[in-house]
Chain A
Amino acid sequence: MVKQHSVYLDKDRCTGCTDCIKRCPTEAIRVRNKKAVIIDERCIDCGMCIKVCKNMAKKAKADDVSIINQYKVKIAIPAPSLYTQFKGIHNVNKILMALKDIGFDEVIEVAKGAELVTEKTKEYIKNNSRKQPIISSACPAVVKVVQSRFPTLIPNILPLLSPKEITGRMTRTHFLDKGYKDEDIGVFFISPCAAKITNSRYPTLIEKSEVDGVISIKDIYKSMVKAIKKNDHHYEHLRLSSNRGMFWAAPGGEVSASKTINYVAVDGIENVIRILEMIEDNELNNVEYVECLACTGGCLGGPLTVENPFVSRCRMDKLSRYHKNHPETRDIHFVLESLDYAWEKPLKPKEVLRLDEDISEAIKKMEELERIYQELPKINCGSCGSPTCKALAEDIVLKNANIEDCIFMLRKEVGQLAERMVELAEKLPRSIKE
């Protein structure tokens, strides 16, 4: 199977410390031979490891900006989290203009797509006869964690495409309508997040993404800052969306846009997992909608952003105030009637936790796992390369580690060996024994 991930390790920078293995929410990383190793099928591309790595060894494989030159019409579709990255800029148009200055021919905000998805979500909530609560499908890392750890909640997920994908579709249709050839149109998502890179390259719910490339916010940050400085007073009115769409980047933004009343909005992957546990236990039946964002601070806290998420949040409020007083937006007539929001393929469960295909074998392995775990020191130090003692026991059972990988077990065994050696040394052959 091809590695369907965008998070990867820069081996030269990795010192084999245990920061990432201990913070990975799905226990998808081990340290082996002094380097971190990602277990691909467990990784949900949340980017937590990118955030916690002090050596900057964890990265996301985004596309280089030069990719846009392969297309005749270069269109940027920026995530609204881009707007909060620049100090002292409260006019979104200046930021969108900077994208044009660095080489894009057109800029269509994902915030606009978010507004369209909001309308569809409202309709869905109104007509929903399925399981409650409905779980937002906007964050691809959340969708992945549901697939692998909470498969019974798959029917709860809102079966609509994300704002990014809808914006991509809307943009492409618009340019096809204008007479451009499909292969000449290049649509590029400006992303705060690794999961959305993966999700554009290897879509699971549609045949092919309309996004031709994904450029990370931090990769184009520098050239944008330059462009904004240079062009401070010359800009076009490029804004299409209202504040509503923009706020999708922050926690609670999606539910406030759709004016959902009975909702829970969660950010931070550990919190998301806790809420999903509650839904699985039937504890949130009275709630209509659950907005889940893997990053603390929502997309504003994305691993590929530059600014601190809390500072970003403050800036978003400033941006919103500015645009309340300057509400003029551009009017592009998009063809929206034929725009399809539905998934083309069903969301399938991914069984990544399973110990064995055969249940009786799995039970045997689980018993073995428990026995090994009881022997281990249970201090979760991580020096064996597994995140916890439990995870080490699991790795041993699955033959991916040895009990001697535990430094305490090794020491114990060496001690016993030494004792035995002393014992042997004291034993002399009868022939020379006095």
Chain B
Amino acid sequence: MTFHYDVLGDEFTHAGVASSKVKKILKQLGVPAEIVRKVAIAMYEAEINMVIHANGGVIDGDINEDRIYIVLKDEGPGIEDIKLAMKAGYSTATARAREMGFGAGMGLPNMKRHSDDLKITSEVGKGTVVEIIVFLS
């Protein structure tokens, strides 16, 4: 089955709504709790990043018996050095986002830790695509 969500930029109060919906779907499918939590954390981080850095974007997903596949696409500023961005503590979050407790630089490493396969492609000035795969069994 597939799903699609639009994420609005700078809507901090609504950040995390999509991952919360996916979480509910996975629980209804009977996916083991620990796996649901992995998906929730990885997707939540990616969703938040989209809100903070990229002025929103779209999320598409596909679930089958073996795995969940999530693509998060944005047309934000892009990531200059993905390797550097993956380092714990590195952040380019704005002062406003930091004030709200975001931007600790743990997003990408956290995403990596909680997904079985993580692919990030990005072009400066064009946007970023995050692909997350978590196996269901």
Contact = CB atoms under 8 A, between A and B. Distances in A.
Q: Do A and B bind each other?
A: yes
Interface of A: 149, 151-152, 277, 280-283, 349, 351, 353-357, 359-360, 362-363, 366-367, 370, 394
Contacts of A356: 30
A363 B40 contact: no
Contacts of B81: none
A417 to B, nearest CB: 32
B63 interface: yes
Interface in B9-57: 16, 19-20, 23-25, 27-31, 33-34, 36-37, 40-41, 44
A interface, over-half SS: helix
Nearest to A390: B24
Given A281-B41, A354-B28, A363-B1, 8 more contacts: A151-B33, A280-B40, A283-B44, A349-B33, A362-B28, A363-B29, A366-B25, A367-B1
A366 B40 contact: no
Contacts of A280: 23, 37, 40
A359 B37 contact: no
5 contacts: A277-B23, A280-B40, A281-B40, A283-B44, A370-B1
Given A152-B37, A280-B37, A282-B41, A359 B23 contact: no
Which residue of B33, B36, B40 has the most chain A CB atoms within 10 A of its CB atom? Answer: B33
Contact of A353 (B27, B41, B44): B27
A152 B33 contact: yes
Contacts of B29: 354-355, 359, 362-363, 366
**From DSSP, what is the main secondary structure of chain B's interface residues?**
helix
B99 interface: no
Contact of A354 (B30, B41, B136): B30
Nearest to A368: B1
A151 B26 CA distance: 13
Interface size, B (range): 20 to 34
B91 interface: no
A356 B27 CA distance: 11
Contacts of A277: 16, 20, 23
Given A281-B16, A281-B19, A360-B65, A366 B34 contact: no
A149 B37 CA distance: 12
Contacts of A281: 16, 19, 40-41, 44
A277 B19 CA distance: 10
Shortest Cβ-Cβ A-B pairs, 9 listed: A151-B33, A354-B30, A152-B37, A281-B44, A152-B33, A362-B29, A367-B1, A282-B41, A353-B27
A374 to B, nearest CB: 12
Contacts of B37: 152, 280
Nearest to B136: A359
A370 B33 CA distance: 22
Given A280-B40, A281-B44, A359-B65, A366 B28 contact: yes
B65 A363 contact: yes
A104 B129 CA distance: 69
B29 to A, nearest CB: 4
Nearest to B30: A354
A359 B28 contact: no
B36 A152 contact: yes
Contacts of A360: 65
Contact of B64 (A282, A283, A363): A363
Contacts of A366: 1, 25, 28-29, 63
Contacts of B33: 151-152, 349
Interface string B121-133: 0000000000000
A357 B28 CA distance: 10
A271 B25 CA distance: 21
A351 B36 CA distance: 13
A354 B65 CA distance: 15
Q: Which of A149, A280, A355, A370 has the most CB of B within 10 A?
A: A280
B64 A355 contact: no
Nearest to A349: B33
A149 B40 CA distance: 14
Contacts of B30: 351, 354-357, 359, 362
Contacts of B110: 282
Contacts of A152: 33-34, 36-37
Contacts of A149: 27
